[in-house]
Amino acid sequence: MMNCQCQCKCKCTLWAIIAAVVVGVIAAFLQITGMITVTPAFLWVLLGIAVVYLAVLVVASALSRGENGCECACSALNALLVGILGTALFSVVLLALGVVATSVLSAALVGLLLASFALTLAGSACYVKALTGCGC
């Protein structure tokens, strides 16, 4: 794939993780208070987005296999993969369990789902930034 020695001094991935945690905590709080509701259609959409992101990432990684890129792409790629797989996992779990508006477990799972999705979006921005060389 790439030169993944991960000796970069980029802070993009750290900021992506912090933003994802903030989004997850806010989403869990709003879910437990009943301000937002999560429908099965929303969960299916997030699962579809995660699957498409994973397919695009596999194709992009296969096409850039021989190139030496910035080492920051390694940490951004790891954050992106964690976000994609977390989004797919938590959406499937919530589809299987069902979402109860006042359940603490549902609120925690919704928070983890939206934190994973936020990490997917922020991680993809960091990955594109690292591939173009803007952050290195």
Give which of 35, 130, 19, 20 is closest to 75, Cα–Cα: 130
64, 132 Cβ separation under 8 angstroms: no
Residue range 6-34: mean pLDDT, rounded = 85
Q: Quote the domain boundaries for residue 92.
A: 12-132
| 2 assigned to some structural domain | no
Q: What average pLDDT does the structure give for the chain?
A: 84
Angstrom distance (rounded) from CA 28 to CA 108: 6
- Assigned domain for 88 exists: yes
Question: Residue 33 domain-assigned?
Answer: yes
Asked if residue 117 has pLDDT above 50, the reply is: yes
* Total structural domains within the chain: 1
pLDDT-based confidence at residue 131 (cuts at 50, 70, 90): confident
Confidence of residue 44 (pLDDT cuts 50, 70, 90): very high
Compute φ and ψ for 18, nearest 5 degrees.
-65, -45
Residue 3 pLDDT class (50, 70, 90 cuts): very low
Q: Is residue 1 part of a domain?
A: no
103: nearest Cα among 46, 22, 38: 38
Q: Enter the tokens of residue 58.
A: 């596999």
Q: Can you tell me the distance from the alpha carbon of 97 to that of 61, in angstroms, rounded to the nearest whole number?
A: 34
- Report pLDDT for 74: 77
Task: Indicate whether 5 belongs to any domain.
Answer: no
Please state, in angstroms and as integers, the Cα–Cα distance from residue 93 to each residue in 8, 86, 124, following that order. 35, 10, 24
Tens-place pLDDT, residues 49-70: 999 999 988 887 777 665 555 6
97 located within any domain: yes
Question: What's the predicted TM-score (pTM) here?
Answer: 0.84
Instruction: Note whether residue 3 is domain-resident.
Output: no
| Section 109-128 average pLDDT | 92
**Residues 108 and 28: beta-carbon distance below 8 Å:** yes
Residue 115 belongs to some domain of the structure: yes
